[in-house]
Structure 1
Amino acid sequence: MKKLYSITGVVIISLIFYFILRPVHVIHAEQYESNAVIVVDHLPLTNKGKISWWKKTKSSIAMRYQFVNAPENASENYIIFSIGSGFHSEAQKDRFCLRNVKPPQNCIDKIPLMTIHKSPYGREEFMMD
């Protein structure tokens, strides 16, 4: 019986570490002037982890998806959505449709995970959903 509890404990701890430490996958991103939408599979569990992830990866996302720098003295907004159950057609629900994904399966359910507002002076504000 003790062996069963030990194995169960190891499995539970392993699953917890998997969900905490698994990498975030950016599925798609696109820019609309000084606003951008980023679609991910998930974000870290804690707000601190989400902010840390953003600070580490924002420049690589901008390079990979060829974001253009906003004009000086302009604010920028980034909305990070969850992919949820994948890409869908627009017809059924209130969905956000991406213009750089081929229709009809170019819309995602609106599941915002985090919004980042960057002021014209460079200050970043984070809103978690």
Structure 2
Amino acid sequence: MRVKNRRTIASFFLAGLVLLVYWFWLSLRPVEIVAIHHRSSGFSDVLVTSFPPTDKGKIKWWLKNQNMLKDKYAIPKPDSNGYFYVTFWLFGKGYKEEGKYDRLCFNDIKTKINCIEKDAIFSVDKSRNMGLMFTVYDGDNYRLDLNGDIIKVTSD
């Protein structure tokens, strides 16, 4: 009986260790920006191959990299009122034709293979009423307050 319990405990420990290592690997992967598309005034799309898995990680990544994004890719690109909307999409298996599915297509690519699957993972927008907002596509929204604190926005 004791040997069976030790094997069970060892199996659970090993499974937990594998999950922990996988989680660290997901958290530490660098964000690779594949392409940037400016759709219209104030709206930009960023195609990425990986992104931090947690809400906090996504927001932290934006705050840490916003100057690099501005300098290297000219995003965000605010409209005439200073508002902007940046959406990060998983690039998945690359560009595809429009096809039958609801895909996001980019008019700045002049071929038939100019669409991606709609797999948004994070967005940042700035408006007059709400200031800087973060949307994580599991349903949560956050706002940067005047003190620099991140506040979870409830939808009640």
* Pairwise CA RMSD: 2.8
CA offsets per residue over residues 23-64 of structure 1, 9 Å max, x none?
111111122321111111122111111001111222222332
Answering whether residue 98 of structure 2 is matched by residue 90 of structure 1, we say yes
Query: In terms of mean alpha carbon deviation, does 62-71 or 22-31 score higher?
Result: 62-71
Normalising by structure 2, what TM-score?
0.67
8 A contact 2:55–2:136 mirrored in 1:
yes
**Cα separation, 1, equivalents of 2:18 and 2:102:** 39
What's the CA shift for 1:17? 1.8
The corresponding residue for 2:59 is 51
Provide the residue aligned with 1:34 in structure 2.
42
Counterpart-to-counterpart distance in 2, 1:69 and 1:84:
25
**RCO (CA 8 Å, sep 6+): is it higher in 1 or 2?**
1
Inter-partner Cα distance in structure 1 for 2:135 and 2:62: 12
Aligned length: 128
CA distance in 2 between counterparts of 1:110 and 1:8 reads 33
2:79 & 2:119 partners in 1: Cα distance? 29
Structure index of larger Rg: 2
Where does 1:1-129 land on structure 2 (aligned, <5 Å)?
Answer: 13-31=20-38, 32-67=40-75, 69-71=77-79, 73-120=81-128, 123-129=131-137
Read off the aligned partner of 1:109 and give its amino acid letter.
E
Could you tell me which runs of 5 or more consecutive residues in structure 1 were left unpaired when the two chains were aligned. Answer: none
**Residue 145 (structure 2) aligns with:** none
Q: Judging changes above 3 Å, is the alpha-carbon distance between structure 1 residues 92 and 63 closer, same or farther for their aligned structure 2 residues? A: farther
Per the normalisation by structure 1, the TM-score is 0.79
Unpaired segments of 5 or more residues in structure 2?
1-5, 138-156
Q: Which has the higher strand share?
A: 2
